[in-house]
């Protein structure tokens, strides 16, 4: 996506040479990427100049976290991230992978059921947030009821400055599969 944005920038600058466009790689995806964009937008709304807006986005990029709990491992194979044999054994064993999303998608562990998976991603968030105030987005792929319950747990267990509920994009839904739940968050200064 970053490369596509660079190409779009070049096209627009050729058509409108007086337009200043800067493209910042968020190094993330999902609502974590949205937090980076919101940091830039908020800085711009405060009247900050372009370098300050870029710095706001880059600072947020370093602070934001993303965690996803997949309901099945088979969709990870479809995306080319694991071999077919691993997907078959993972499906047979009912393994649910957990991934973190930073510059790349990183394998963070496996669980055998959804309840343990939710407990684990909340623990991972707790390790990063502690008792501080957090900005949080709960995300899901066609699992609204489970996501609403996860949002309720986040609201009960953490101090949230903001707490959103959102769906994965269709592309993320395809890569992760139906039933995926996740958290994007950062700690308030």
Q: What is the pLDDT of residues 92-115, one digit of tens each?
A: 567 788 888 877 777 788 888 899
Residue 20 has pLDDT above 90, yes or no: no
Same domain, 8 and 81: no
Residue 83 has pLDDT above 60, yes or no: no
Higher pLDDT, 61 or 81: 61
- Asked if 56 and 43 count as a contact pair (C-beta separation under 8 A), the reply is yes
**CA-closest candidate to residue 163, choices 143, 180, 146, 139:** 139
Rounded alpha-carbon distances, angstroms, from residue 88 to 6, 75, 94, 118, 129 = 38, 11, 10, 23, 35
Examine the fold and report which residue of 39, 63, 87 is the final residue of a domain before the chain moves on.
Answer: 63
Same domain, 70 and 57: no
Same domain, 138 and 58: no
Split into its structural domains, the chain has a count of: 2
**3-state SS, residue 180:** coil
Cα–Cα dist 126/157, whole Å: 9
Same domain, 103 and 130: yes
Same domain, 106 and 167: yes
Same domain, 88 and 16: no
Give the pLDDT of residue 92: 59
Structural domain including 104 reads 65-187
Same domain, 59 and 144: no
Residue 79 has pLDDT above 80, yes or no: no
Examine the fold and report which residue of 29, 63, 97 is the final residue of a domain before the chain moves on.
Answer: 63
Give the pLDDT of residue 127: 96
133: CATH = 3.30.1180.10
Same domain, 94 and 173: yes
Same domain, 40 and 94: no
Give the pLDDT of residue 57: 95
> With 0-12 CB in 10 A as exposed, 13-18 as middle and 19+ as buried, what is 19?
exposed
Give the pLDDT of residue 66: 94
pLDDT tens-digit map of 114-168 = 999 999 999 999 999 999 999 999 999 999 999 999 999 999 999 999 999 999 8
Choice among 72-76, 84-88, 152-156 with the minimum mean pLDDT: 84-88
| Mean of the per-residue pLDDT values of the chain | 87
- Asked if 117 and 140 count as a contact pair (C-beta separation under 8 A), the reply is no
Cα–Cα dist 30/36, whole Å: 11
> SS3 for 59-117, per residue?
HHHHHCEEEEECCCCHHHHHCCCCCHHHHHHHHHCCCEEEEEECCCEEEEEEECCHHHH
Same domain, 69 and 134: yes
Average pLDDT, integer, range 7-29:
90
Residue 138 forms beta bridges with which residues?
Answer: 165, 183
Phi and psi of 136, rounded to 5°? -135, 140
Examine the fold and report which residue of 63, 89, 116 is the final residue of a domain before the chain moves on.
Answer: 63
Same domain, 56 and 69: no
Same domain, 18 and 56: yes
């Amino acid at each position: 996506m970053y490369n596509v944005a660079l190409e779009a920038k070049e096209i627009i600058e050729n058509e409108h040479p007086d337009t200043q466009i800067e493209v910042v790689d968020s190094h993330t995806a999902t609502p974590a990427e949205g937090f980076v964009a919101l940091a830039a937008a908020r800085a711009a709304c405060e009247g900050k100049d372009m370098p300050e807006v870029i710095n706001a986005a880059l600072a947020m990029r370093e602070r934001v976290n993303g965690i996803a709990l997949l309901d099945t491992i088979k969709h990870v194979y479809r995306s080319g991230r694991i071999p077919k044999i691993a997907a078959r054994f993972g499906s047979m064993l009912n393994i649910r992978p957990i991934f973190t999303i930073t510059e790349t998608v990183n394998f963070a562990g496996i669980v055998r059921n959804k309840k343990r998976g939710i407990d684990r991603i909340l623990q991972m968030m707790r390790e990063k947030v502690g008792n501080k105030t957090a900005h949080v987005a709960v995300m899901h792929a066609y699992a609204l009821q489970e996501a609403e319950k996860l949002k309720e747990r986040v609201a009960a267990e953490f101090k949230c400055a903001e707490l959103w509920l959102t769906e994965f994009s269709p592309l993320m839904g395809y890569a992760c599969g139906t039933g995926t739940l996740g958290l994007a968050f950062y700690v308030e200064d």
